[in-house]
Amino acid sequence: MFLVVGLGNPGPKYAHNRHNIGFLAADRVARQLNAGPWSRKFQGEIAEGKWPETKPSATKIYLLKPQTYMNLSGESVGACARFYKIPPENIIVLYDELDLLPGKLRVKRAGGDGGHNGIRSIDAHMGKDYERVRIGIGHPGDKALVTHYVLGDFGKAEWELQERMLDAVARHFPLLLAKDAPGFMNKVALEVRVESPESSK
C-alpha cells in the first residue's frame, strides 16, 4: 500500500502557481493510475487507485492533496498515513524545488526540508524517511523575490515545458512504486531532454 502526496495550496487562486506543481503532478499520476474520483477526507482530497490493475495482487495506492495550505500539510498526511497504516517508506511526496531548473527532477529519500514549508510540516508529523520527488521550478535570483515567484503562475513557455515534465512523471511513475528511483529519474530526464533540448542546458 502506498500514499502519494502532491503539495500545493487549495483554491482556484493558487491553481496554476509554481508552488502548486505537486497538486498538478498528483492529478496526472491519478489519471495514469486510473484512480477513482477525488473525495474529501483527512483535511484533504483523496483518490484511490491500483497498479497494475491486471494482477490479482495489485498494489493499492492512495493519492492525497492536502487542503490545509502548504505550511500545515503534515496534519493531512499524518492523519491519512495513520488511518491506513502506511509506513513512511511507502509515502511519496511530489513538490516544487527552487534549486532545480524547470525540466529537472530529483528523487531522494529523507534529507532536509530545503526551506520548503510543506516538507517541514510533513517531517514534523511523519519523520523524514519518505520519498521526495523534487520538481524544478527554478529560482528568481533574489531571496526577496521568492514568495512572489512561487505564488506566481507559470509563463507560457515555462508551462509547456512543465506539462512535458508532468506527463513524463505520470507515465514512468510505476518505476517509483517498484522502488526504482534511479530508473524513474533516468526515464523522465531522457524524455524531457529529447522533447526539449534547451531544458538540459
What residues are labeled active site? 19
Nearest to 136 by CA among 153, 120, 158, 151: 158
Contact, 35 vs 47, CB < 8 A? yes
Buried b (16+ CB within 10 A) or exposed e, 3-26: bbbbbbbbeeebeebbbbbbbbbb
Nearest to 63 by CA among 92, 89, 95, 97: 92
Give phi and psi for 107, each to the nearest 5.
-120, 135
Instruction: Provide the grid cell at 31.
Output: 489519471
Give phi and psi for 55, each to the nearest 5.
-100, 140
Residue with cell 538540459: 200
Instruction: Provide the grid cell at 69.
Output: 495550505
Rounded distance between C-alpha atoms, residue 6 and residue 44, angstroms: 10
Rounded distance between C-alpha atoms, residue 139 and residue 91, angstroms: 27
Rounded distance between C-alpha atoms, residue 27 and residue 25, angstroms: 5
